[in-house]
């Protein structure tokens, strides 16, 4: 590589030390801001230096889980992979993640980079990058204060996909993505999706803004899904999968990862090895993760937009009697979630967060009993975890992004 980035790397690492001294566990974006200011070409130069190229995973939802699965499958096939944490999917976060691994000459000891990228920031970075493969998960309205227009999201993803040099892996069940890839004639297009039978079992759809009129006939197809079990067809091969979390949307994430891994590895791709690898994975934090906190088993469910809220609520076990729901400052307009049918929550023991009253109103209006409204998240968490053991199921915490971060900090959980 080159010595031109030595000063920027040293300054970025110094900023990282200073940020962690000032706020232990925080300041992860600060080093990236410093290095990008000192050396604007750092990010693109490092990401262009991997032997087997760069892979970008983007879309409205499913990015973190799909990225984790794809990285694990590639590593199981002997590839050394550089990836970014799910919380580092914008430019400064990516640069900070690179600083953790990069040498003073600007090189990373890995064969391939697989990066989750936020749609908007990815579109801003795309002109400086040349990804070998781009994986597109879906298109939907995102948090209302971010990308309230699906057409806007599609434009971002088109910018990212247009930079691919070899292949675009796309959700064939998403009508808007089908329109996008139709205009990428120079590239190889690989698809993933679900069978007609699986779609028929999802009366509310698969979460995309618009579902394609027909199912894909080639690619990686989910032919059955129930709980954490799924069956996937890859051409003539059929795989039985165990996915990290409950719900057909996680089976679709697995299909996406398998399609991308097959496109990257080609003849080296081993479907059985891939299936075994996915079965061993833990969920990404809060994406249906079950863990023990203060001696109590808890399931964490992150919801970030109406589609993910609906899909995750529909995947809940029936009859839960201890659920905490948290809506925070990341939801500018609580009416954003009113289209969600939340009745499967069954019984909310506590509703918390800065928008607790608004969330409680929606639940009560839909016939879900609410025992207590406590806006202070730490107080609510302590009270919820102190409740007696549930009669049915396990304690379940459903939260939007801001309460998720506050919950993680209060309970001392890692990401």
* Higher-confidence position of 43 and 151: 151
Which pLDDT value is given to residue 16? Answer: 64
Mean pLDDT of the chain: 88
Indicate the CATH number of 287-411 among 3.20.20.70, 3.90.190.20, 3.65.10.10, 3.40.50.10170.
3.90.190.20
The predicted pLDDT at position 220 comes to 98
Whole-number pLDDT of residue 337: 92
Residue 40: the pLDDT is 65
Convert the pLDDT of each residue in 42-76 to its tens digit: 677 788 889 999 999 999 999 999 999 999 999 99
| pLDDT for res 102 | 73
> What is the CATH number assigned to the segment(s) 50-279?
3.40.1190.10
Percent of the chain with pLDDT over 90: 67
In this prediction, residue 33 carries a pLDDT of 65
Reported as a pLDDT band with limits 50, 70 and 90, residue 236 is confident
Q: How confident is the model at residue 105 (pLDDT cuts 50, 70, 90)?
A: low
In percent, the amount of the chain with pLDDT more than 70 equals 84
**Cα dihedral 212, 216, 219, 223 sign:** positive
List pLDDT tens digits, range 168-178: 999 999 999 99
| 302 vs 28, higher pLDDT | 302
Categorize the per-residue pLDDT at 104 as very low, low, confident or very high, splitting at 50, 70 and 90: low
Tokens coding 241: 């999968």
For residue 52 the two structure tokens come to 């087997």
**Per mean pLDDT, which range of 140-154, 193-207, 287-301 is the poorest?**
140-154
Task: Summarize the confidence of residues 9-28 as an average pLDDT.
Answer: 61
pLDDT at 232 over 70: yes
What local confidence, expressed as pLDDT, does residue 328 receive?
Answer: 95
Tens digit of pLDDT for each residue in 338-347?
999 999 999 9
* 180 neighbors 136 (Cβ within 8 angstroms): yes
Question: Could you read off the pLDDT of 239-271 as tens digits, one per residue?
Answer: 999 999 999 999 999 999 999 999 999 999 999
Indicate if the pLDDT at residue 370 is higher than 60: yes
Position 167 scores a pLDDT of: 97
pLDDT at 10: 65
- Look at 20 and 110; give whichever has higher pLDDT: 110
Question: For the chain, what are the domain ranges?
Answer: 50-279, 287-411
Q: Three-state SS across the chain?
A: CCCCCHHHHHHHHHHHHHHHHHCCCCCCCHHHHHHHHHCCCHHHHHHCCCCCCEEEEECCCCHHHHHHHHHHHHHHCCCCEEECCCCCCCHHHHHHHHHHHCCCCCCCCCCEEEEECCHHHHHHHHHHCCCCEEEECCCCCCCCCCCCCHHHHHHHHHHHHCCCCCEEEEECCEHHHHHHHHCCCCCEEEEEEECHHHHHCCCCCCCCCCECCCCCCCCEEEEEEECCEEEEEECCEEEEEECCCCCHHHHHHHHHHHHHHHHHHHHHCCHHHHHHHHHCCCCCCCEEEEEEECCEEEEEEECCCHHHHHHHHHCCCCCCCCEEEECCCCCCCHHHHCCCCCHHHCCEEEEECCCHHHHHHHHHHCCCCEEEEECCHHHHHHHHHHCCCCCCCCEEEEECHHHHHHHHHHHCCCC
Report the range out of 6-10, 219-223, 279-283, 333-337 with the highest average pLDDT: 219-223
Please tell me which residue, 77 or 392, carries the higher pLDDT value: 77
Confidence of residue 97 (pLDDT cuts 50, 70, 90): confident
End-to-end CA distance of the chain, in Å? 32
Residue in the block written with tokens 């900090």: 409
Give yes or no on whether 50-279 and 287-411 have one common fold: no
pLDDT for res 396: 97
- Token pair listed for 332: 């500018």
Residue 21 — pLDDT band, cuts 50, 70, 90? low
Sign, Cα dihedral of 299, 300, 306, 307: negative
In this predicted structure, the answer to whether residue 276 has a pLDDT above a threshold of 80 is yes
pLDDT at 98 over 70: yes
Predicted local distance difference test score (pLDDT) of residue 11? 64
Residues constituting the chain = 415
């Amino acid at each position: 590589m080159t010595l031109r980035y030595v000063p920027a790397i040293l300054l970025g690492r110094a900023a990282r030390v200073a940020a962690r001294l000032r706020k232990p566990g925080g300041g992860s974006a600060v080093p990236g801001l410093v290095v990008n200011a000192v050396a604007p070409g750092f990010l693109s130069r490092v990401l262009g230096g991997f032997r087997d190229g760069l892979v970008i995973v983007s879309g409205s939802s499913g990015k973190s889980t799909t990225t984790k699965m794809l990285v694990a499958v590639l590593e199981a096939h002997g590839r050394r992979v550089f990836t970014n944490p799910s919380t580092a999917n914008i430019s400064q976060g990516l640069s900070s993640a690179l600083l953790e691994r990069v040498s003073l000459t600007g090189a990373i000891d890995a064969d391939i980079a697989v990066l989750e990228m936020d749609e908007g920031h990815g579109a801003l970075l795309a002109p400086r990058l040349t990804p070998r493969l781009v994986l597109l998960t879906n298109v939907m309205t995102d948090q209302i204060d971010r990308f309230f227009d699906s057409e806007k999201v599609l434009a971002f993803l088109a910018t990212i996909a247009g930079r691919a040099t070899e292949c675009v892996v796309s959700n064939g069940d998403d009508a808007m993505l089908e329109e996008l890839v139709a205009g990428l004639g120079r590239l190889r297009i690989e698809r993933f999706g679900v069978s007609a039978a699986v779609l028929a079992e999802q009366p509310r759809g698969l979460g995309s803004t618009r579902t394609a009129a027909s199912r894909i006939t080639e690619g990686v197809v989910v032919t059955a899904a129930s709980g954490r079990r799924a069956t996937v067809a890859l051409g003539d091969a059929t795989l039985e999968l165990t996915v990290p979390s409950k719900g057909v949307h996680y089976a679709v994430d697995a299909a996406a990862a398998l399609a991308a891994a097959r496109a990257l590895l080609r003849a080296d791709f081993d479907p059985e090895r891939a299936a075994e690898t996915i079965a061993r994975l833990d969920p990404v934090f809060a994406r249906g993760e079950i863990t023990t906190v203060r001696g109590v088993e808890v399931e964490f469910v992150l919801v970030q937009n109406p589609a993910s809220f609906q899909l995750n609520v529909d995947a809940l076990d029936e009859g839960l009697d201890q659920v905490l729901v948290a809506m925070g400052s990341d939801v500018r307009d609580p009416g954003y979630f009113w289209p969600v049918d939340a009745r499967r929550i069954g019984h909310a023991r506590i509703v918390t967060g800065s928008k607790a009253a608004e969330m409680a109103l929606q639940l009560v209006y839909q016939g879900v009993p609410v025992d207590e409204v406590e806006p202070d998240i730490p107080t609510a968490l302590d009270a919820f975890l102190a409740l007696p053991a549930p009669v049915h199921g396990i304690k379940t915490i459903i939260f939007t992004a801001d309460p998720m971060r506050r919950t993680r900090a209060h309970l001392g959980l890692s990401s």
